[in-house]
Amino acid sequence: MSMTKYKGDTAKLRLAVIGSGNMARRFLKQLPDSERCELRAIGDRDPASARLLADEVTHLYEGELICGTEIEVITSDQVDAVYIATVHTTHAEISLRAIAAGKHVLCEKPLTVNHAQAMAAVDAAQHSGVRLVEAMMFRFHPQMAAVRELVRGGAIGDVRHIDAGFSFLVPTERHEPTIVTPDLVIPDAGGHEGRLFDPNLAGGGILDVGCYPVSMARAIAGAAAGVEYLEPVELTGDGTLSDDGVDQWATAQLRFGNGVTASLRTGVWMVDNNTVQIVGSRGTIEMLDPWALSVSPRVVVRRLGHVPEEQAFPASGAYALQMDAFAASIAGPEPEAISNADSLGNAAALDRWREAIGVRYPFERDDAAIGTISALPLRVPAPGESNGTGEGGRTTARIEGLEKPVARIVMGCDHQPDLRTASALFDHYVTLGGNVFDTAHFYLGGQAERQLGRWIANRGIRDDVVVIGKGAHTPDCNPEALTRQLHESLDRQGTDHLDIYMLHRDNEDIPAGEFVDVLDQHADAGLIRVFGGSNWSVQRVAEANAWARANGKRGFSVLSNYFGLAEPSELPWPGCLGACDEESRSWLTEQQLPLFAWSARSRNFFARADPSDRSDELLVRCFYGPENFERKRRAEKLAQDHGVSPSAIAMAYVLHQPFPTFAMYGPKTLAESRDGFRAVEVDLTPEQVAWLHGDKP
């Protein structure tokens, strides 16, 4: 099928609806009211269900509808965009399939089951040049815009608190149906076998409708601060779970950085008034039909010394407004109602709420065989292949003693909170062309090594990746502890060897030769391939290698110290050493010893540092200074010239040294990962490298 070319012009967006359940039916009732979209197709995993739905709505549409499987409809050249109305667990996979086919995507809430999946969908859409929008319907209704404007304008003074609930009682074998509004009847969820009670289908109230009050609270707190949204600095939760681990009802308490607090409620086994109240220093705003918008959407404003004021809004049309905003955004900026960044923040907050009450679905657990988010095999680029990230020759290098090429951008494994997030980040890094993972016995109390080992096993790519392990961290920095920790690391990772092994710290009370002897023994046994030191001085490395030469042993093949464009006044943690000084740089150049530069982005100094912002004590203590802010200014200038971020310039600086270098980073998001990897695209001249650093000619 040929790829469609809809650009948001006068022609209507040709839309396919994916799914044939209640949500699709509700959507299709309003689609004829859209000024910018027209229905062309209905797809479902069961094409017969798609045909049945098409027959139901045929009186609403002109012309023959295309019906078929999800993939058949997504790849049709008669379709420009898809609206996804399937169960939560399929949102990410279908979104990625549609994006890969060049189709714009309007995906029903929640955008995905968790933040890791949401990152993958957003990254894919932004990198592919198609529009992805979360169908959080109430955000597109004029009622929401009016409330945000009231808050921004100070109608009730300073916002203090938000109270929001969205719950319903699902018809089950134990309960008679309780109907709060007509839109909340869910006949296909009756009984404990329905999707809302199935942990394998991401059941429960938090994802199904709790996403609404979370989104509302973040938006209102943001409006109070004059921004699009705010993220909660604190989130606690409570609730009741089913025997299968699904949240039947749950509450959350949020606090935002501007002092606003929020109390949220949700559930599939609880009746609520389903309203929103915003409490200010001089009054309140109440939304009486904030979610379904089908009975009587009204906003009541009560202010001190004033008669209550009421605004009424249309009781329908939100889906059509949503569709038109989606279609318009294809030719312009993201919809004002909700951005991808907003959706990512909501997904992260929902993760926190679920984590607070102990809801983690079976397919998310750290012992699960978590597959790729697309459900397709992970594509491992061939050695040296650029994969769209720069020239292949700059992406990898060779280290003596290793048969595999080594990516020059190295993924740190100490920032991933769980396997689902680690899997998304690691998969993404590999597709960019990366193959080196840096971990340590010390990281996250062993969780980092277990997650990495589990991911490698799930993907079956141990022979394709280079694993760096580290041990003998202070106070257990001695040959005996090294041996014990090495075996524990191998066991945690489920592997029989580590490609590179480094001492995590140095202990100068022990002769360097004693460390060399035990490392050489482990190399003889095949447990490690090459070894070196992290946070070792070049003098101690020279001592170790002199001992090795004199005694017929292997020496240190690598060093891993801090090295970056921003030079620290002190290093963040005890026992750390840098290699920014002239003596270290000269020795590394003379010896041509590969340096793995940890924190190559200088703790995100080039992205986050602001002389007026001193909230990050560690960043301020280590990197704030006039020389570094001048280097930041120069990096920003080169970043504009090269079309990359200042952080990518900082990493490129590391890669353009007269000795072999590898830039280590620990991205927490896919956007950070992609941004950092762009360093391999940057070609700096020796003069630019010197200018960045401030060297005198």
The pLDDT of 212-219, averaged and rounded, is: 98
pLDDT of residue 173: 54
**pLDDT of 191 above 50:** no
User: How would residue 188 be classed by pLDDT, with cut points 50, 70 and 90?
Assistant: very low
The DSSP output letter for 598 is B
Contact 571, 633 (CB under 8 A): no
Instruction: Note the residue count of the chain.
Output: 697
The architecture of the domain spanning 403-560 is: Alpha-Beta Barrel (3.20)
The predicted-structure confidence for 507-530, as pLDDT tens digits, reads as follows 999 999 999 999 999 999 999 999
What is this structure's pTM?
0.93
The architecture of the domain spanning 13-135 is: 3-Layer(aba) Sandwich (3.40)
Determine the Cα–Cα distance for residues 355 and 339; give it in Å rounded to an integer. Answer: 24
The predicted-structure confidence for 487-507, as pLDDT tens digits, reads as follows 999 999 999 999 999 999 999
The predicted-structure confidence for 137-178, as pLDDT tens digits, reads as follows 999 999 999 999 999 999 999 999 999 999 999 876 544 444
pLDDT of residue 383: 61
pLDDT of residue 515: 98
Determine the Cα–Cα distance for residues 190 and 203; give it in Å rounded to an integer. Answer: 13
Q: What is the DSSP string of 363-416?
A: GGSTTS----TTSSPPP-PPTT--TTSS-HHHHEE--TT-SS-EESEEEE-SS-
Q: Please state, in angstroms and as integers, the Cα–Cα distance from residue 464 to each residue in 217, 382, 422, 499, 528, following that order.
A: 45, 9, 18, 11, 16
pLDDT of residue 344: 98
**pLDDT of 88 above 50:** yes
The predicted-structure confidence for 96-147, as pLDDT tens digits, reads as follows 999 999 999 999 999 999 999 999 999 999 999 999 999 999 999 999 999 9
pLDDT of residue 235: 98
pLDDT of residue 315: 80
pLDDT of residue 10: 53
* CATH superfamily assigned to domain 139-314: Dihydrodipicolinate Reductase; domain 2 (3.30.360.10)
The predicted-structure confidence for 526-550, as pLDDT tens digits, reads as follows 999 999 999 999 999 999 999 999 9
Determine the Cα–Cα distance for residues 520 and 556; give it in Å rounded to an integer. Answer: 10
User: How would residue 186 be classed by pLDDT, with cut points 50, 70 and 90?
Assistant: very low
The residues, any chain, with a CB within 8 Å of residue 481's CB and separated by 6 or more, are 471, 472
User: How would residue 263 be classed by pLDDT, with cut points 50, 70 and 90?
Assistant: very high
The pLDDT of 642-655, averaged and rounded, is: 97
Q: Domain ranges for the chain, please list them.
A: 13-135, 139-314, 403-560
Helix, strand, coil percentages, rounded to 5, for the chain: 40, 20, 40
User: How would residue 294 be classed by pLDDT, with cut points 50, 70 and 90?
Assistant: confident
**pLDDT of 21 above 60:** yes
**pLDDT of 629 above 60:** yes
Closest CA to 502 of 478, 541, 461, 471: 471
pLDDT of residue 385: 59
Determine the Cα–Cα distance for residues 654 and 561; give it in Å rounded to an integer. Answer: 12
The pLDDT of 403-423, averaged and rounded, is: 96
**pLDDT of 246 above 70:** yes
Contact 354, 246 (CB under 8 A): no
User: How would residue 295 be classed by pLDDT, with cut points 50, 70 and 90?
Assistant: confident
Closest CA to 98 of 80, 114, 74, 115: 74
Q: What six digits make up the tokens of 185?
A: 């009847």
Least confident of 193-207, 242-256, 566-580: 193-207
Percent of the chain scoring above 70 in pLDDT:
93
First and final CA of the chain: distance in angstroms? 59
Amino acid at 190: G
The predicted-structure confidence for 356-371, as pLDDT tens digits, reads as follows 999 999 999 999 999 9
